Amino acid sequence: MKKLFIKSYGCQMNVYDSGKMADLLAPLGFAEALDYSDSDMVVLNTCHIREKAAEKIYSELGRIRQEKERMKKSGREMIIAVAGCVAQAEGHEIFARAPFVDIVVGPQSYHRLPDLVKKAANGKRVNGLIDLEFPEISKFDSLPEPKGGNVSEFLSIQEGCDQFCTFCVVPYTRGAEYSRSVPEIHREGLKLVENGAMEITLLGQNVNAYHGAGPDGEVWNLAKLIKHLAKIPGLKRIRYTTSHPLDMDDELIAAHGAEEKLMPFLHLPVQSGSDKILKAMNRKHDADYYRKVIEKLRRTRPDIAFSSDFIVGFPGESDADFLATLNLVKEVGYAQCYSFKYSPRPGTPAADMDSQIPDEIKSERLQVLQELIAEQQRKFNESCLAQEMEILFDRKGKYAGQIMGKSAYMQSVHVNSAEDYAGRLALVKITMARGSSLAGKMIETGEENRYNHIRKIV
Ligand code: SAH
Ligand code: SF4
Ligand code: F3S
């Protein structure tokens, strides 16, 4: 077997794509390894969302180059591929900055990897990018069946984004919105569950804008798709991410009250609490609209909890605008959040806006916001103390005799148990809340795990 190392950066979609790349390369004799030393092939599946993320790639490439040269001295070749959103955004500039890279391939063309690898093996540099304005036949048609094998799996249902928020590169790196068909998604979901998945997270850059072809010839929305997938026996939990507040339609909100398998946790990024900044960001809604969506969801599903993304220091953000963000966070009360300093991205409108905010101010604001978010997360976790929660166990803990799982709210929970509970949905009483993780005691061990024969906690 040849050694293949794939490293994913960025969002869950990249993690999903990396899995598909591994499946695509397996028939060529590649087996995945945990690091790049001695690898016959290395794929960096990159992210372009912020400058830091993109720049990281070049330092990583520098290190990998040394290994490639070391191998060359002993007569062995290493193929280096740059995939993902940096590849799509920078194209063959990557060959100029890092001439030792063999393949550049984008998010819409990685299904061609086996072909590109064959070409690269003949010592050629291959540009496997496609023009996003003229997308080819869906890459999904060319992807192998999922192998799965994990308790919790991702399933891409929608890709690309038509929203064009003024700070964001995604519409340029992933292209226009595209929804896979319902039967295609259903088939993949069935396969994943057959192979052991009990939780499926439906992925899309703007996942609640989903509008795929249904089996009846009609266009189905996300609510309808979720209800359909929920009928898969053995599937216990459904999640979806990432949603735009504008596309939280009433049918989807109602599904949160009606569909038991849909987890009471929603990542609903708002980015800012200031109407002025939301407008400049082209988010197409104001803060009150967002509050109403949250309110409706809470009315429909009282035990629902939320997370969000925030950007601080967007061009023109005043102290008052930032205060509006803090106030919104206080009002909503999040279970967790991600927050970032605004990073100007080449080619996006916000990068050319006047009144860019100095880095010191961005850092100060980020710190204040992150303290508030951490405080809310701590409170949320503490509110789980002494509660009985259903935990889906999927891995070993840090210490011997510990196993780990996830709550409905995506909290990591560990309990002491010598037994292998992978794939078991067990009832746990929470006895400790610290930082971002919880600990508890097993109360009921749940039904016998029908998947133990294929999977052990590793
Ligand atoms: N589709 C999702 C988010 C995709 S990117 C949505 O609509 O919310 C993930 C997060 O990265 C965004 O929510 C945003 O908070 C952050 N982000 C995107 N571009 C950024 C930039 N230029 N600078 C800082 N953060 C950014
Ligand atoms: Fe980017 Fe999300 Fe806005 Fe689309 S909706 S442009 S992915 S932040
Ligand atoms: Fe990054 Fe591309 Fe995802 S830019 S966040 S890897 S869509």
Q: Which residue type does 150 have?
A: N
CA dist 166 and 171 (Å) reads: 10
The phi and psi torsions of 388 (rounded to 5 degrees) equal -100, 125
Bridge pairing between strands 41-46 and 2-8: parallel
Statement: the pTM of the whole predicted model exceeds 0.75: yes
Q: Across the strands, what pairs with 41?
A: 4, 79
Interval between CA 53 and ligand 3 midpoint (Å): 10
DSSP for 217-267, written as a single string? SSEE-HHHHHHHHTTSTT--EEEEE---GGG--HHHHHHHHH-TTB-SEEE
The residue whose two tokens read 């400790």 is 432
CA gap 61, 55 in Å, rounded: 10
Instruction: Give the Cα separation of 25 and 112 in Å (integer).
Output: 10
Cα 342 to middle of ligand 1, angstroms:
9
Q: SS3 of 46, please?
A: strand
On whether the 139-380 domain is CATH 1.10.286.10, my answer is no
How many H helices and E strands in the chain?
Answer: 13, 21
Ligand 1 contacts CB of residue 173 (under 6 A): no
The segments of the chain whose pLDDT lies below 50 read: 450-458
DSSP state of 212: E
| CA–centroid distance, residue 5 to ligand 2 (Å) | 30
Query: For the domain bounded by 2-131, which CATH number is listed?
Result: 3.40.50.12160
How many angstroms separate the CA atoms of 382 and 433, rounded?
A: 6
Arithmetic mean of pLDDT over the chain: 92
> Distance (Å, rounded) from C-alpha 330 to C-alpha 325?
9
Given this model, what pLDDT does residue 370 score? Answer: 98
Using CA atoms, how far apart are residues 240 and 405, in angstroms rounded to an integer? 19
Q: Tell me which of 159, 290, 309 to substitute to probe ligand 1's pocket, judged by most ligand atoms within 8 Å of the beta carbon.
A: 309
- Is the CB–ligand 1 distance for residue 239 below 6 Å? no
pLDDT at site 458 = 35
What pLDDT is attached to residue 455?
A: 39
* Ligand 1, atom 15: closest residue by C-alpha: 309
CA 206–ligand 2 middle distance (angstroms): 7
Q: What is the number of the ligand 1 atom nearest to the C-alpha of 344? A: 22
Q: Is the CB of 84 under 6 A from ligand 3?
A: yes
pLDDT in tens, 222-251: 999 999 999 999 999 999 999 999 999 999
User: How far away, in angstroms, is 394 Cα from ligand 1 center?
Assistant: 29
Atom of ligand 3 nearest to the CA of 86: 4
- State in Å: Cα 49 to ligand 1 middle: 7
Domain ranges of the chain: 2-131, 139-380, 388-445
What is the number of other CB atoms lying within 10 angstroms of the CB of residue 381?
A: 22
Which numbered ligand comes closest to the C-alpha of 357?
1
Question: Residue 207 CA: which ligand is closest?
Answer: 1
CA distance 261 to 75: 54
pLDDT of res. 400: 82
The pLDDT score that the predictor gives to residue 457 is 39
Measured from the CB, is residue 244 less than 6 Å from ligand 1? yes
Please state the CATH superfamily assignment of the domain spanning residues 388-445 in this structure. Answer: Nucleic acid-binding proteins (2.40.50.140)
Sign of CA dihedral 210, 213, 218, 224: negative
β-strand 265-267 against 305-312: which pairing, if any? parallel
What tokens appear for 303 in the block? Answer: 């035990």
Q: Say whether 139-380 and 2-131 share the same fold.
A: no
332-357: pLDDT as tens digits: 999 999 999 999 999 999 999 999 99
| Pairwise CA distance, residues 243 & 82, whole Å | 28
Coil, helix or strand for 62?
helix
Distance 451 CA to ligand 3 centre (A): 33
In short, whether 47's Cβ falls inside 6 Å of ligand 3 is yes
Sign of CA dihedral 178, 184, 189, 192: negative
Q: Of 299, 321, 304, whose CA–CA distance to 268 is shortest?
A: 304
Q: For ligand 3, is residue 169 a contact (CB within 6 Å)? A: yes
Q: What residue ranges line ligand 2, CB within 6 angstroms?
A: 161, 163-165, 168, 170-171, 205-206, 244
Consecutive H or E run containing 21: helix 12-25
